[in-house]
Amino acid sequence: MFKQLLLIFVGGGLGSTFRYLISKSLNSERFFIPYGTFTANILGSLLLGLVLGYAAKHNFLNSNTVLFLAVGFCGGFTTFSTFVLENQALLRSGDYLNFFFYAFGSIIIGILAVFLGLFIWKLS
């Protein structure tokens, strides 16, 4: 159990670090929506689909690898709490149009990204 927790811990730390770097480089006041969080969440969704699609196709469900990549890295890389906070800020400022595009765009594109990742391994 300790090994699994350590894998999640290290994967989550790496994912969080990469998310921070993406957010710092892409989030800007000149954009109407937080592109850094959006990018991290979509890339994380795609990566999750790719990891799970690869694991299913190659019958490679090594629980330690899945814990490290899917639970740890993708869990740390993506962020629901920041997404909700940013949407709350858009609503509070009365920016309903960008709230709509950011909230629903993130959810729809994120789901499509997971499906794309799974689909890529079905094609190969």
* Residues making up the binding site for Na(+): 75, 78
Q: Which amino acids are annotated as binding site, given as ranges?
A: 75, 78
Taking alpha carbons only, the member of 56, 85, 84 closest to residue 70 is 56
User: Which helix (H) or strand (E) element contains residue 67?
Assistant: none
Taking alpha carbons only, the member of 63, 78, 69, 73 closest to residue 3 is 63
Joined together, the tokens standing for residue 48 give 């999750």
To the nearest 10 degrees (0 to 180), the angle between helices 35-57 and 96-123 is 20
Helix and strand numbers (H, E) in the chain are 6, 0
> Are 27 and 35 a contacting pair, CB within 8 Å?
yes
